[in-house]
Structure 1
Amino acid sequence: MTDQHPAPGRVLQRKVLADYVYEEILSSLIDGRREPSATISIDGLARELNVSQTPVREALARLEHTGMVRRIALKGYTVAPLSTPKELAQLVDARIVIEPTNAEWACKRATTQLCDALQETIDRLGASHTGATFAEFRDYWQADEDFHRIIAENADNPFVLAAFKTLGGQIQRFRFFAGKGVTDADSAIREHTAILQAFLDRDPERARVAMVEHLVGVRERSVRDSGGVE
């Protein structure tokens, strides 16, 4: 009888490959090695990365949800244009609708383990490089993403979590760090720490306010980094 389920090792190997392809394409997009609005060749990417087309298609589908690439019917994928200052501000405004509620709800359910997990992401922010290429600031970006994701996951509402995930987090904003590096690490670490302190004090309302203040700061810095005026 044929085994209907792939071996665990094969599943892990496929996931590792899929993550590798995703990160390689993401890196090329953030670093600007692929021009905005340029057509993306799935076959070309597969040859470039020495993989089959399957993990490339999976990676592009994931990247479509972040807004980094766009899929056009009958034409395939293209590189998304850089966000305008107005679009960046609107993206953060959408986050302000969702994430302060996440912070409030997650704080109501805060545990020592949750606070430790948030502290660990802040420690990684402080220890990460913030240089000019995605390879240099990737760990910083991941720690920032993890902080907000952990809070969203612990808000215990799958519908709000789904809405949070569709926003693509900070990825669009990080495109503006290519070539100059992360410009607001000190501010972000200070603001994340204020949110964590509200969790440690089990103060949901203060967690909400601290998240609003953080995202307002993110909005102002995002517009500034994109060359716009808040």
Structure 2
Amino acid sequence: MIDQTATKRPIADQMYDVLLHQFMSGQRSAGQSLNIGALSRELDVSQTPLREALARLEHTGLVEREALRGYRVAPMMTRLEIQQLLEARLLLEPHLAEQAAARATPEFLAQLQETVDAFEESAEQADFETEGFDLYWRSDDRFHMLIANQAGNSFLAMAYAALGGQIQRFRLFSKFGRTGAKHAAPEHKAIYAAIAAGDGPGAAEAMSAHVTGATQRLLG
């Protein structure tokens, strides 16, 4: 399973990508046990880089470690967890968007536009193809992280990053047919337009609508 064209990359990095791809493709489902010995044999690598990759995935929220039992893929979010995540995001992300609008720079706007374009490109395939879902995942994550970092408060950015693992879990286990990417793409555009115009309240309102809409689409 090691990519021979990327042998200069640490094996742990390659295993991180392999496992993440397996999660996104549905090859390993929510709650499934991740036995390190079995993974080592299956992927033909030693256990040390696998342990490192799993430890990194644990920090994203996509993998959990249970005492005396090892690792497993994080379980599906409960309805209550989804509602609580929505509450947390609504407290944080509209404010980040408003502050990012006040501090927007040409470089930041160019980077944000790239994520908007990539997300729109993914919208048609995200619910049906692993590659489309991968682009959807990464562009969405970068869009929100760019805004958090541009808001100008490192503590709030750290708070978003800490929440980000659970947002990744939310994205991943929405799975194919339920991402709502077609609906989210114009929402990203609306957030971008408000930020680019320096309209802080408008950016906050657009972000609130987006976060709420994403949750309603998953629950619906």
Normalized against structure 1, the TM-score is what? 0.81
Change (3 A) 1:121 1:28: same
Deviations 1:104-140 (Å, cap 9, x if unpaired)?
2222110111111111111111222324343441012
CA distance in 2, matches of 1:182, 1:125: 15
Task: Kindly indicate whether the alpha-carbon contact (under 8 Å) linking 2:100 and 2:150 is maintained by their aligned counterparts in 1.
Answer: yes
In 1, Cα distance between equivalents of 2:49 and 2:143: 27
Query: Cα deviations across residues 64-98 of structure 1 (Å, max 9, x unaligned)?
Result: 22322211223321222211222222222212222
- Counterpart mapping for 1:6-155 below 5 A: 17-128=11-122, 129-155=125-151
Q: Which runs of 5+ in 2 are unaligned?
A: 1-5
For 1:175, the aligned partner's letter is: L
Name the structure 2 match of 1:165: 161
- Indicate whether 1:210 and 2:201 are aligned: no
Runs of 4 or more off by more than 6 Å in structure 1? none
Give the Cα separation in 1 of the matches to 2:20 and 2:146. Answer: 22
Name the residue aligned to 1:192. Answer: 188
* Corresponding residue number in structure 2 for 1:6: none
SS at match of 2:126: coil
State the Cα distance separating 1:197 from its structure 2 match: 0.9
2:172 matched to which residue of 1? 175
Q: Distance in 1 between matches of 2:69 and 2:83?
A: 30
The residue type paired with residue 211 of structure 1 is M
Aligned to 1:227: none
Q: Distance in 2 between matches of 1:133 and 1:17?
A: 26
Contact 1:103/1:208, CA 8 A, preserved across alignment = yes
Query: Are 2:32 and 2:73, in contact at CA under 8 Å, matched by a contact in 1?
Result: yes
Write the letter of the residue equivalent to 1:49. Answer: L
* Equivalent in the alignment of 2:218: 222
TM-score (norm 2): 0.84
Contact 1:60 1:69 in 2 (8 A): yes
User: Taking structure 1 as reference, are residues 141 and 78 closer, same or farther at Cα in structure 2, changes over 3 Å only?
Assistant: same
Displacement of 1:13 after TM fit? 6.3
Residue identity opposite 1:65 in structure 2: H
Rounded to whole Å, the distance in 2 between the matches of 1:156 and 1:181 is: 36
CA RMSD of aligned residues (A): 2.3
1:71 aligned counterpart, secondary structure: strand
1:177 and 1:37 map into 2 onto residues whose CA distance is: 14
Decide whether the 8 Å contact of 1:88 with 1:222 is kept in 2: no
- Number of residue pairs the alignment of both structures matches: 212
Question: Following the alignment from structure 2 to structure 1, what is the Cα–Cα distance between the partners of residues 131 and 12?
Answer: 18
Q: Which amino acid in 1 is paired with 2:147?
A: I
Taking the aligned partners of 1:18 and 1:191, their CA distance within structure 2 comes to: 36
AA in 1 matched with 2:172: R
